[in-house]
Structure formats: structure tokens, C-alpha cells
Structure 1
Amino acid sequence: MSQAQLAGHDLSDSYISLIESGKRTPTPAVLKLLAERLGCTPEYLSEGIEPEQRAHVEVRARHCELALLAGRAQIALDGFEEVIAADDNADLTLRARWGRAAALEELDRTGEAIAAFEELRELAERDAGRTSWLPSVIALTRCYHAVGDLGQAVALGERALGRLTELGVTCGVDLAEVARVMLLAYLDRSDTGRARELTAHLTGEREPAVAYQEASERALAEGALGDALYLADQALAIASTTARSRAEARLKVAAARALIRGENPDSERALGLLGTAMPDLSGDEATACAIETARALVSLGRLDEAITSLRTALAEPPRQDIDPITAQAQLVLAQAELARDDREAALTVLRTTSAQLERLPASRATASLARELGDLFDAAGDGASATAAYRRALESVGLRPTSHTTAQALADH
């Protein structure tokens, strides 16, 4: 196809020539027109790769990152080389170049890794509005220490640590890694004074995701967009990991409930699930986990442990008023007292809980609590209180006696 044929009646031959020589960039409308005449997509004309191919390359890059995380560094390296060769998208290429450098380091090809990380550092320093130099400098600190260049390792480490401190990052993986390498470098140089001075500042106990978010906001306020983007990505990564851990912990609590209830409870397995779930929970969810733990302990006959756990859950944090979580804890406490044949202690707890349940709004949760309360009153030999609790359960789901006579018959029964 000649330039005149491609230009048609809408464009001039000279304009096509200028586009071909790189002296003009076509507008989106012209790009679409040219793509139609050439039988390809506008994306292919502008970027040299079809959208489906781009998606394939992006998936390939992510698979390489997964391989690197799984310890398959050679597979990751080969894949990153393919991604770099196949795509000219700046962001994807940068991501693949970072992965390639990390794979080289993992393969102990440290000299090559240093060269790759130095290129990334130079790129970041030239374009601070797009990229942060922090990750490459931290990686270089580690690599220079590995090859024995302690002076360069300390210089770069102090630069990274200074920037992190300036932004208020007092915890998290970046601070931990650069501080770890610096401590090793100081000790290798027999500079125990500097090492001890550094340890005195490593006291950050804040939530890492919050620290990274606030640091990102500081970087944004000072116009350091590359740092702001990197730190925001770190905050998102930590927050998403925390969310996944919490979701898995909540699943374990639900699974434990299923294992404890019904015939032939598997309380030992439930106890194991609850123990691994607890560190990732907080607030009411942690209290609910403690309650289910106590329920499993009761099932296993470890009554004193169950009661101690429940009393701790009820005391921390102190609650101003009754709520379903507190009521549930009290019911399990009564169950434990019954299991050790202390009927009066159980009835004291049950009567307190019964009075408190009257203040809860009608709901399925309240109905479930009232039904369990009725079962425990029945087990304790207080039939009248059990009947009242069952009536409260029915009323909480909208079922009421049709007449006073029916209500009295139910009570008499």
C-alpha cells in the first residue's frame, strides 16, 4: 500500500510521510482511521502489540513474580527476560526489570544484580515523579554487603534509613531490611558503637500499614510522587495481607463452631483452629474466638481453663452495656459452671443474662441466645425460667401466642 493509498481522501501523502519518519504523532481519530485501513487495531499501531498479546505478557510477568516468590529464581529470570523483550510498555518493562534484578540476586549472581539495581536506581533518580529510588537503594545495600563492599553498603543504607526516618517510617519490611544489613555491616567493621546506636532507634511499634500510608501522604505533600506511590503500594500490600489473614481467621472460627456443635464434637481440632485464628483477630471477633475456645474447653472437660478464659474475655475490654457477645460469653460460663456441678453459680449467671436479654432488640441473634438460655435453664432444673426464655426466643423472630389462654397453656406446660 502506497502512502497515497493509505492517506485516501482524508489525509495528505506528506502527513503520512511525517508520521512514518516520527516527526508527527497522529491524533486518536487519525490513529483509528489508519488502523481500519491497515486492518489492525489502534493499540497495535500506537504500541506495537495487540491488546490480547499485552494481556498475555502481563500475565506472564505475574507468573514470573510468583515463581520468584516460590524460590524458582531461574524460571523467573528466564520469564522476565522474555517479558522485557516482548513489550515496550514502560510500566510493565520496569516491573520486569526489577524482577530480573531480584532473580539475579537470588541466584547469587550478585555482580550482575548490582549492575541491574544500579540501572534502576539511576532511572528512579532521573524520574522521581514516577519511581522511588528507595527499593533499589535498599537492594543495593544488601548486595554490596554480600560482596564485601562495606563502605558502599553503609553509605547507601544510611541514605535509605535517613529517608525512611524523614518520612516517619518506623516499622515495616523496608526499615527492617535496611537496618538488618546496616547492623551486619557495622559489626563486620567492628563498629559496635554505631550498631548499638542504631538498635536504640528501632523501637517502632506502630501498625505498618498506617505508618506507610502516613509516610506516603508526607511524600505527596512535599511533591515526591515516586516515593508517595511506592509507599502507598506498600501500605496496600500490607493491608491486603492483613485482610486475607483476618478472612482466614474468621473462617477458622466458623469451622470451629461447626466442629464443636452437634453430636460427636471434634473439640481438639476446633481448639487447634481457634488457636491459630486468635492472633489475626481483634475486638469483638477476638472475643468471639475466646468464647468458642472456652466452649471447646468445656467439651473437653478443661473447665477451670474455660472459666478463666471467659472471665478474661468479659473483663477486657470492659463493656458498658449488654450486647450479644457478652451474653454469649455468659451463657458459656454458665455451661462451664453446670459441667462442674455448681448449679447455683450457673443459675446466678443465667438469671443475670436473662434480665439483660430483655434489653436487647428482637432479632435472630437474640432468638438464638434466648433459645440457648432456655436449654441451660432446663439443664439447671429451672423449668419456669426455661419456658420464659423459649417464649422470648419465639417473640424475637416475630412469633407470639395468639391469646392469653394459649400463652398460659404454654407456661403451664
Structure 2
Amino acid sequence: MDTQGDLWQVTPDLRVRAKNIDAGLVGSRIRLARQRAGLTQGEAAGDVMSTAYISRIEAGQRRASADLLVALANRLGCDPDELLAPDDDVAAREELARVTLELDYADLDVRTGDGPSALVRIDAVLASPDVPHELATKAKYLKAQALESLGDLSGAIKVLEDVVSASHESHLRLRALILLSHCYREEGDLARACEVGDRASAMIDAADLHGSTEGIQLAVTVAAAHYERGDVNYAMRLCARAVESAEALESPTARASAYWNSSIVHERQGNIADALPLAHKAITLLEQTHDASAMARLRSQLGFLQLSMSPPDVDEAMRNFERARAEMDHTTASPIDFGRNELGRARCRLLIGDVEEAERLAEDCFEAVRESSLMLSAQALTVLGQVAASRGDADDAVARFRRALVVLDGMGADREAAQLWFELANLLRSHGAMEDAIEAFQRAGTSTGLTSPSMAVRTT
């Protein structure tokens, strides 16, 4: 086929085939190509023909001329030969087109936060015995993304391990490794998160992809795992390089990922002044991607940053938490996302003295995440203890704090856990529960890498 620039042109051979091929067959192929392109009949028709006419062509009631076929092919981004191919293996080609379209819709579901819809589409594709290997592997990767978005980390990990071992396509395997490292980190298995990250890093090195979207996403994912393990300086260097590389890219997703994760590392270092502008940059970039789920998570993160300021910017934090909650209503956010947002709103309500609403939100958070996140469960119990303390019920406050200690004891040692151990230690000490406070101080030290069997704690 001759082309001029990127446009297909009419040839004598194409005119002959357009006159002789079955109109119904061509119509069904045009319909599949249009659906794959995500266009309505009116959008595909443009100013070339009427919507009614393209409808009749798709129904096989009108034969499209060679000129119309080429015009449609150019609008739909397909090859006219695809529309005029002989009838051999038509069923196989149409099934392939159908599966590809279903996966495109599943990908859109994942990106817009509709995990359950994505899973229905993907499972239907995987149930077909004739799906090509690479399309099946892509379907499994999308399934892992959907499971992760719904908070099913163990399910996502199981599927991702299968993708990594089965995929013959290096970029898909790399993306699977990056998501696998993230899932292990979220599950608290920091050693596995770093090990998987190292495997992905070797692929990045071999393909010289350090400045690519995948390279940046891997860098910030591995940085977060190393930070939680206590290797703060290495994590900071990884984030700094990721931000530097992201500045040279056009990809809003890669740049937002770099800014977002760097913001988290700065915030946990106590550098709120550096963390806030990075979070604002990430939000501005994510608004270009229309990723509702990511936007909601980042707005909640920004709310926590604003609560970490001295003094806390409670009004702005509450606005961000409320906006994030409204965005979550239009997606299928995970229980962890909902729980984290409820925890932030509970802290805001506690700071302005609305203890009844703070208690309700903290209880809702605890019930939502008690089976999926030990950290959020312990944080919710800590807020409930503070609610009790604000009412003057010291015994109930200490009981809540002690329960948070029990929950936290099930977690591994990382910096976030250390921070909560330290916070609980101070709360228990302020309420006279000195033995519990000393134990909590010791656990805080262990979580940050201190190995001394005891810590000196002032009791007066």
C-alpha cells in the first residue's frame, strides 16, 4: 500500500477489492476498528459522511467505496488491508480484535478506579482457551493492577509472580517487577521489596532505561522500601536522581510519581517545607492524567502533610481530605485508601474539638482496615485513645493505647512503625503508664536499628 506521510492512499488494487468483498464482512470489521479506537459512529464519520451512512455500512446495508474505506481507515488508525483482507481466518482475527478491545476497556477501568469492572472483563478474557500467550500475560498484569487497587495485595503478588515468570516481553516484565516491589513494600515485606527491586534494576541497567518512565517509577518504588528499612541517605539519593530525570521527561505520570514519592520521604524526615511543594507539583501533573484513584490518594497525603506543619493547617488539610473523599466516591478505592482518608479526617476533627465525629471516623477506619493494615489499625486506636483522653477518661485512653501496642507488635521493624511506637510511648508516659511507655520506647529504638537492650527514660 502506498502512503503519503502517515495517511493511506487509494490504489487500483484496493478499488478492485472494495468492489468485490462482502459488504457485511467489511462493515463488521469497520465496527470493531471503530470500537477499538474508542470512537462513536458520529466521531468516525466526521465531515466525510453522515452518522446514518456509517451506521448502514457497519450493518452491511451499504457498500463502502474505496475512497470512503481509506478515509475511515485513516480516522480509525487502521490499515485498509485489515478491512479488505480475504475471508480466511476471519473468526480468529475478529476474536483477537474483541479480546484486545476488552483489555483496552479493562485498562481504562483500572486507570479510572473501577477495579471490579476490570476484573470481570479480565476473567472473561482469561477464560477463553484461544487467547494468545502475550495477551493472556497482559491480562494477568491488568488483573494484578486491579487487585492492588482494591487492597488485595496477596492476590496481586501471586498474579505478578506468574507474570514475571511467563512474560516474554521485557517491558511488561519490568512493569510487573515494579508493581511487585510496591506490593511487597505495602505488605510490609521490605526485604522482598528490595530484592525484587534489585532484579528490576538489573533490567533497567541492561536496557539503559534509567531516564525512562519505568526507570523513574522503579527508582522511587525501591527508594521507599529502602527508606522504610532505615537506609535513609540511599533513599534520598534515589529520589533526588528520580526527580532530576523526571524533569527531562514529557510523561506527567513519571514526573508525578517522582515528586509524590520524594514528598513522602521528605515528610517522614520531618522536612515538611520541602515535602509540600513536591506534593503540589505531583497533584498538578496528575490532574493531566485523569487518574481519579491516584488523585484521591495524593490529596489525602497532602492533607497529612498539612497536619504535620507547625502549627497544623487544619482547614486546608480538611479541605483536601474532603475533596479526596468525594473523588473516592467516583472510583472503587481500596479499603486502605478509605481508611487512611477517614483517619486524616478524624485527626482534623480531634484538633478542632469535634470529639464525637473524630471518634466515629476513627472507629470507621479501624473497622475498614483491621483485616488489611496493622499500621492503620494501630493509628486508628491511637486516635480513639486521644479521644478518650480529651474527655478526661484516662483509664479508657490507656486501654486504647495498650491495644494499639498489641496491634503494632504484629508489624515488622520500619521507620513508620518506629514513629508510632514513639508517639504511643509519649502518650502512655503522659498518662502514667510508665512500664508500657518504657517498652514502647524500646520498640521504637529497635525499629530504627538501635540494639541496646534498654533505653534510659525519665520517670519524673
What range describes the TM-score normalised by the shorter chain of this pair?
Answer: 0.3 to 0.5
Larger Rg belongs to: 1
Higher RCO, 1 vs 2 (CA within 8 Å, ≥6 residues apart)? 2
TM-score (norm: length of structure 1): 0.46
TM-score (norm: length of structure 2): 0.42
